[in-house]
Amino acid sequence: MTSSSDYRSLGRTGMQVSPFCLGAMMFGAWGEPDHDVSIGIIHHALEAGINFIDTADVYSLGESEVIVGKALAGGRRDNVILATKFHNPMDVAIGQPGGDPNHRGNSRRWIIQAVEGSLRRLGTDWIDLYQVHRPEADTDVEETLSALTDLQRQGKIRAFGSSTYPAHEIVQAHWISEKRVLGRFVTEQPPYSILVRGIEADVLPVAEQFGMGVLPWSPLAGGWLTGRYRLGQDNPSSHRANRMPGRYDLSIPGNQRKLEAADALAVLADKAGISLVHLALAFVRQHPGVTSPIIGPRTMEQLDSQLGALDVTLSSDVLDAIDEIVPPGTTLSGADAGYVPPALRQPFLRRRRTG
């Protein structure tokens, strides 16, 4: 259970949030389709002291926001710091061709539409933290910051942040905010776990320098750190593996390295007398630059197992052993980085034109 003394400042916003944030990605068609079951999980998390919920418009194409809205009806909304995100297409599944090219992205045109859709689905008049789900090279960051500042001044959002931004783009956004006298990103939501430590090299130090709240997503590495992935066993099936096979296919070298590390970490957790889930969550929570890791349970049992990590503090010996298995600043598989910049996706950006 979370007590009042456990709450942490959300960057410099003045808002106080619980040491874990409840992620709602698995509520709806992407995970638990039964709304009543999902609502029960949300209520149980609130009763355990969590006051921070994160979702996104794209999760089950709006269904997650609808479920969260139902769960907060009846007087619960005022006591919850509610976060959601925009950027991804809302008229076609992620990664599928087609759809309206203006029905997505970080433009003012889409942001103004997207926030109204989220407010309607969430059944609320305001969003506490509105986040840009991914960078977009084709949109000037000033365009995005200007639209978000207007929404903040209108009272539709209280604060705004970024998600899965490279360190240099966070710095650029802060520079533009200061130069143009606009609101600024007050939080960053990056991928971070024992298997995905790349942000330790740059994003976390930059966020600390700017006083940003940090809300790591996937601290259990998409299920790799639940204890279900062990050497010599068949990899279990899951909703996420079906949606994102590139993060789980063992024919990919990075995923094989993840399996080996997950097995070694499970052995370490056994020696420490704790579960691998608790080891993984405690590791992320103990970083001084982290505000509130996002836990994303699909079942009540998963929620209870994750909440127990609040009582775990890892010793220096255990942290040193983790560093031996996965060195600081190392991401074992590039597929887990969450964002690939255009210069790596598009070969012509790396090749001098001739002729």
Catalytic residues, which ones?
59
Q: What count of other Cβ atoms lies within 10 Å of the Cβ of residue 228?
A: 14
Instruction: Give me Rg for the CA atoms of the chain.
Output: 20
Among candidate residues 233, 225, 159, the one with its CA nearest the CA of residue 194: 225
Strands of the sheet containing 294-295, edge to edge, are: 213-214, 187-189, 157-163, 127-132, 81-86, 52-54, 21-23, 294-295
- Whose CA is closest to 81, among 31, 132, 38, 122? 122
Measured over the CA atoms of residue 93, residue 343, residue 250 and residue 271, the dihedral's sign is: negative
Distance CA 32, CA 53 (A): 17
Q: Which amino acid is at 111?
A: I
CB 284 within 8 A of CB 216: yes
